[in-house]
A and B are shown apart, each in its own frame.
Chain A
């Protein structure tokens, strides 16, 4: 049998001394993670959505046509108004048809009649109610507003005639930051406690793990209720908001502490950590230089996944009337108004604040998942 084959191409045994063996990986870690993350279209879209949402929050007063607690007595439960462009087949720019309320004393509801004759043209960069722009200076400029005598309720009005659209923007300011403050508290506690537990091990580890197990075995909702019921009722809305976020953070840390601990334990076994130990590096240096940078990305991903829990927590508390209270506006507070089934049936737009909650929570979840998938950027796939 002689079917011998020898490759005819020339062969150079030492052609590769210091050239990267994996040119596709020749980049810093964050860039590799980003390249992989980019391929998760859903995660990318969610990230963009959240970025835009958060960037809009400081400008809520400018974007919203009304201030959150501005009451329109003549427009209680006004239905959403459509912004139109053509009046009687003629283009006249964005406008709304004014609505007029009459009380239906038989069914005890408001009836609205639309005046199709007098289009109310929207004006832009107009003056309206006062608000603090970026929290810095007072102004009365708004992105758009309705002319005198007309209203612009894009998503309807609630039982006091407040604009749902404006309130969602103002509510977002609180509802979206609750997660951030809560996660900061939870992060500080989780990293410290989880880090101590993972690094020192032994009795300390055993003890913290038992504490975490006990904490996690307490049903969350009653605990939230108890803690927030303990908040004095004469505190200002801002103080209440702050303390609610802290409470949410205080209850969230055990999960994060566990993640940190297990990551710590597995990283400690990595040879580069042992190498640093054998070079004589002190524990603080090892934690700072070797452990933290290597699991920071894991931490960010798990943070992304716990923010929605906090947003939902705030919404749930406020919905039950135990979280933020009027005059503070949050999505939960708004939904509190929508508790009555009958009013949702007649005025379904009062439940619109559910939508931002759902979208934000989903977006955080998609983003977190995509980030978690991109954390190991070294594999071919």
Chain B
């Protein structure tokens, strides 16, 4: 059967304000029933490209040239030259769109049912009442267990993954020919991402719509797309079928992107027990509950247990990784480890400044001792755009820790700043500049340099790469590995992505709802996972290879309610089974 072309984009170029075109010479076709992935890093112009098709660009943007012909039974029309009114009939009807952040794209003032029905009322002339049946059907189709309840809910009453499902339901309800999905899964946890991608694929098979999928993740491309367009700085680097581009990348940039994608190892060495002879940090029986404050000091709220009974030990010079989804309590553990938050009574954090020394108990330190401890334990933050003060020059940011601790004179501090920049692979010409001129990766390097200023022995990295582009992520991980080995640092590494820690960690703990559910060396954990949740995380990792297929069932069970786990892993009255050592060095929360 000859493929029927649905949309043909030619010579599209877009500029901002009066400047030259920043996005140039974009050409691609999408056939009916096909998925085209637009891949690129932030600033590559992929989002603006697909927004240009619907003409929902930001105010300052101008379309300089190009055509986007949408075929229809009666002939084609150029979306870029239609009147606003004619375009209004196409938006939401023949072409619909899903945005990245489901919270911002649903109105918090209206019930979900009403928002979804609106599409039918506008384009199909339904009344509110007659639309309801169809809306409920589409809710059932996107996998809501109780469509009636969702119909009556407000967006903030349901979780991020569920909201994204509601957005999809809204996008497909008018049975569009083309669905544009702009990073539909980036704001979601990995397990939810796998489920949402699976859903889009199912719907596509059912309705025969075409999909333009905008993403920065080659793993998503390999698993969900038929054709791919790789973009960089507003230009197409390479395009072709997924099989061709992923298996045999021809352009250097594509090759670099594929190499940068983190991969979970598939072969394993036999597991062995390790005893830690020279520990640097130990958490023992650490719990943390938060008071849900009702706003004033007179009102009482509930108590939330964010962390429950966490134990682990980090060896000197080793990397201990904690992996978990948002809300699993991993960042709270990081803060407790650094003494930034006090654990509930009974929790002990021990820190050994050097081998054989008497350990400091971090939770009971006096202010002066705490300042000394802080010289040895530092933190690298997640968001490079918020972790550097916009009012301070790079040099002030880097010398600040030295100033706080009264180390050296002005001249020495400046020399140290230059040295630090070189250590993280930046040039000293940055000293007098301000952080906002730099990219996320450069800023994250600055953030690492600042953490190194006091020559610490322990570095806590709280999702240091999750705000970065893939290729930058790989570079930053490489840098972290390099300085760890060079300066004999120990890391506590927090991440939501198993694949990221696969390379850097010596031991990995998987956290779920405030508890460690499984802990082992990475090769053991990745090849012989025992806990259903770990299995779900691994199954949900998308790799840039065409042969991998997502096991959605494993994802759904493991990431779902703990009550749906197999008998021996199940929580009883919110109490999980004990953590037991099933194999040497491999701990699982399982009832034997």
Contact = CB atoms under 8 A, between A and B. Distances in A.
Interface of A: 1-7, 9, 11, 13, 17-18, 20-23, 25-29, 32, 202-203, 206, 270-272, 274-281, 285, 289-290, 293-294, 378, 380-381
B159 interface: no
B240 A280 contact: no
B450 A275 contact: yes
Contacts of B60: 380-381
Interface in B427-471: 427, 429-430, 433-434, 436-439, 442, 447, 450, 454
A21 B439 contact: yes
Interface stretch (B108-116, B131-139, B230-238, B349-357): B230-238
B381 A275 contact: yes
Contacts of B404: 276, 279-281, 285
Interface of B: 3, 16, 27, 29, 58-60, 235-241, 244-245, 250-253, 256, 296-297, 338, 340, 370-371, 374-375, 378-379, 381-383, 386-393, 400-401, 404-405, 425-427, 429-430, 433-434, 436-439, 442, 447, 450, 454
Contacts of A11: 237, 251-253
A25 B433 CA distance: 10
Contacts, number: 133
Contact of A294 (B16, B235, B340, B391): B391
B338 A1 contact: no
A13 B253 contact: yes
Contacts of B436: 22, 25, 29, 32, 378
Contacts of A278: 338, 340, 374, 378-379
B437 A20 contact: yes
Given A6-B238, A380-B16, A272 B437 contact: no
A281 B237 CA distance: 47
B386 A272 contact: yes
Given A18-B429, A294-B391, A5 B374 contact: no
B235 A280 contact: no
Q: What are the nearest 3 A-B pairs in CB distance?
A: A21-B439, A4-B240, A18-B427
Given A1-B241, A21-B439, A289-B392, 4 more contacts: A18-B442, A274-B381, A280-B404, A381-B59
A279 B378 contact: yes
A7 B238 contact: yes
Contacts of B426: 17-18
A215 B578 CA distance: 56
Contacts of A20: 433, 437-438
B241 A279 contact: no
A272 B383 CA distance: 10
A279 B237 contact: no
Nearest to A202: B297
Contact of A4 (B3, B244, B393, B450): B244
A225 B371 CA distance: 54
Contacts of B383: 271
Contacts of B439: 21-22
A206 B297 contact: yes
A4 B58 CA distance: 31
Nearest to A378: B436
30 contacts: A4-B239, A4-B245, A4-B250, A5-B238, A6-B250, A6-B251, A7-B238, A7-B251, A13-B256, A18-B442, A20-B433, A20-B437, A21-B438, A21-B439, A21-B442, A22-B439, A23-B437, A25-B434, A25-B437, A26-B433, A27-B434, A29-B391, A29-B434, A270-B387, A272-B388, A272-B389, A278-B374, A280-B375, A281-B404, A381-B58
